Amino acid sequence: MKTPKNALLLIGSAKPAGESSSEALGAYVLERLSAQGITTEVHHVARSLRTEARFQEFLAALDRTDLFILAFPLYVDSLPYLVVDALERIAAHRRAQIAPAQTAFLAISNCGFPESQHNATALAICEQFALETGFAWAGGLAIGAGGAIGGRPLTAAGACYGKRSRRSTKWLRHLRKATQPRPQRWPNWDDASFPLWPMSCWEILDGWQMHAGVTP
């Protein structure tokens, strides 16, 4: 895996721009990469799949990038339908190429459960996707209680949760220096998974009560 000069983020949530935890996590990763001089761009899966022209535009951008980052919410132990659809079309696109680009693939999965290990199956699927499509698997990041982020920037996601989430992405400083693929075994970033802090439990409960119209 070559040192990346540019990175592409595909946000796998169908929520409007600026409202998903997946986008907040992905945006923080791009922020850190940009600080290292890496050029970044963002695509939303719902928008990219809306028309064939838009998806071809996304594929062209993907072919140009050195690092492909997928950030998505966990849906029943797997990836959302729109993400599965996109990955299947990406796979077909790369199989049709004589020499697909040597692109690294990094996946970020967040679930509503406090325990981050619920993301294991989805990240294993991402690793298998990389193996079958010629991407260099750069690792997976598992995030528990993603709902506590609530679409906010990690710097504004609460003292406990935001700090803990940001700490979980500390491996980013090594990414730019990486010249070899990670071992073909998930999870590659075991230290990136973390349990929920008590404060986040209260944040989630407050969110449930707000949606239910109950005053805490």
In which domain, by residue range, is 201 found?
6-212
Has residue 174 been placed in a domain?
A: yes
Using DSSP, state whether 70 is helix, strand or coil.
Answer: strand
Q: What tens digit of pLDDT does each residue of 132-188 get?
A: 999 999 888 888 888 778 788 877 655 445 455 445 455 455 454 443 444 443 333
* 7-65 pLDDT tens trace: 999 999 999 888 899 999 999 889 888 988 999 999 999 999 999 999 999 999 999 99
Mean pLDDT over the full length of the chain: 79
Question: Looking at the domain assignment, is residue 86 inside a domain?
Answer: yes
| pTM confidence score | 0.79
Question: Which tokens in the block code for residue 210?
Answer: 């707000």
Omega of the bond leading into 195 within 30 degrees of 0 (cis): no
Residue 137 in domain:
yes
* H/E element, 166: helix 159-168
Q: Which strand (E) or helix (H) includes residue 46?
A: helix 45-48
Choose between 76 and 3: higher pLDDT. 76
Kindly report the CATH number assigned to the domain that includes residue 116: 3.40.50.360
Q: Is residue 151 part of a domain?
A: yes
Q: How many domains does the chain have?
A: 1
User: So what's the pLDDT on residue 2?
Assistant: 63
- Do the domain assignments include residue 1? no
